[in-house]
């Protein structure tokens, strides 16, 4: 399927810093999903958003469903070494899923 615009592609941050990444599209979605993938494993669902404007937290992670329904962002606060991995978004139009190209996160202790 088509891919969403996800940025940044990669991030190198110091432990303790906050992280922000986002996904944008020209299409309207009714669901936004954020996943984390560790090397050699399947992606794990972090946060699911089902309503425009919705702000949802999961521990140190916070994600928002953009008001326009065309974007979403994920924030990670106070990063730790185990946050390392690839994060990607997925959007659902009601008929089809689209995926972001992923953000590779490296946390420097």
Partner 1 sequence: GAVVSQHPSRVICKSGTSVKIECRSLDFQATTMFWYRQFPKQSLMLMATSNEGSKATYEQGVEKDKFLINHASLTLSTLTVTSAHPEDSSFYICSASAQPSGNTIYFGEGSWLTVV
Contacting positions for partner 1 (CB under 8 A)? 1, 3, 30-31, 33, 35, 40-45, 48, 50, 88, 90, 92, 94, 97, 99-102, 104
E strand or H helix at 78, and its extent?
none
CA distance 41 to 59: 22
Complex with partner 1: residue 73 or 99, whichever CB lies closer: 99
Give least dist CB 16 to partner 1, A.
26
Nearest Cα residue to 64 out of 77, 51, 46: 51
Give least dist CB 20 to partner 1, A.
20
């Amino acid at each position: 399927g088509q891919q969403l615009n996800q940025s940044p592609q990669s991030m190198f941050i110091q432990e303790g810093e906050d992280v922000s990444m986002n996904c944008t599209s020209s299409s309207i979605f009714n669901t936004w999903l954020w996943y984390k993938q560790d090397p050699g494993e399947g992606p794990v669902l972090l946060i699911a958003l089902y309503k425009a404007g919705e702000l949802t937290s999961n521990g140190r992670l916070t994600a928002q469903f953009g008001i326009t329904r065309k974007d979403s962002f994920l924030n990670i606060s106070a990063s730790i070494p185990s946050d390392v991995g690839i994060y990607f978004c997925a959007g659902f139009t009601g008929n089809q899923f689209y995926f972001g190209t992923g953000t590779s996160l490296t946390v420097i202790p």
